[in-house]
Amino acid sequence: MGRTKICIPLKGGREEELLREAEALSAHPLSPLISIVEFRDDLSAGISDEALPDFLHSLSERLPGKSLLFTLRSAAQGGAFPGDFEAYLLRNEAALKAEGISLIDLELPRDARKEEKGRERQQEETESSRRERIRLFLERAKARGLRAIASYHDFEKTEGREKLLQIYRDLRALGGDILKLSLMPRKPEDVLSLLSACRAFREEDRERHEYIAVSMGQLGRFSRIAGQLSGSDYSFASLFAPSAPGQWRLEEMESMLSLLER
């Protein structure tokens, strides 16, 4: 693997604010260090489904030389989108119509929701059907020339290494080009479990996916600059304001990566 590629999330807000932020990012002296710019749709305001494709095209025009990533992070996985699974897919369908985006992030549906107590079989069928719909969506996205990120986030905990390997298998089954795990550690061993799982899965991966492995918060900050150890190809940094706990500022990350990845 080569040098860690850096992704910068936009802060969010209304259309005019986001377009101005994109222009400021492109004009920033550190802009050449940025490979991907992430638009967090769940943090935006007032962009209708009908207006979304044109807005994304306008946004991409203000980011020459950058790949634009569309992300709609659900509340269940630490984001601000409050809608159900159907609304989540519909919003991503609207984004798929846009010219200018290069990548799209779809979440691995979480394990069967416990609000349906006593209906385990129905829960399993719901989870299975949701995963299949995500897989088909990513298949269509790739047919349109987009790179697909299959992701899983847990802002409460980090599972054990074997469970993490199973999550990686589930992400691979969705058909993502890039497999992303972003987890909250509760102890130092949690950080090491994620780094170890990412490295182990990458080494057995004959399809040669790319990886994002993030251990969040202050405890997990090291994971964001440890790609050469973990096998993580990408890392998220902040240029204006962080979008997740533990993010390095871009200038800090570049300084650290320059030392570690010579």
What are 128-131's contacts with CB under 8 Å, separation 24+?
130/85, 131/170, 131/173, 131/174
Q: In terms of CATH architecture, what is 5-260?
A: Alpha-Beta Barrel (3.20)
What are the pLDDT digits (tens) for 40-49?
Answer: 999 998 899 9
Q: Which residues pair with 248 in a beta bridge?
A: 237
| Core vs surface per residue 226-243: b (16+ CB within 10 A) or e | bbeebbbbbbbbbbeeeb
Question: 91-109, pLDDT tens digit by residue?
Answer: 999 999 999 999 999 999 9
Average confidence (pLDDT) over 163-181:
97
pTM recorded for the entire structure: 0.92
The answer on pLDDT for 123 being more than 90 is no
pLDDT of residue 49: 96
Residue 147's DSSP bridge partners are 103
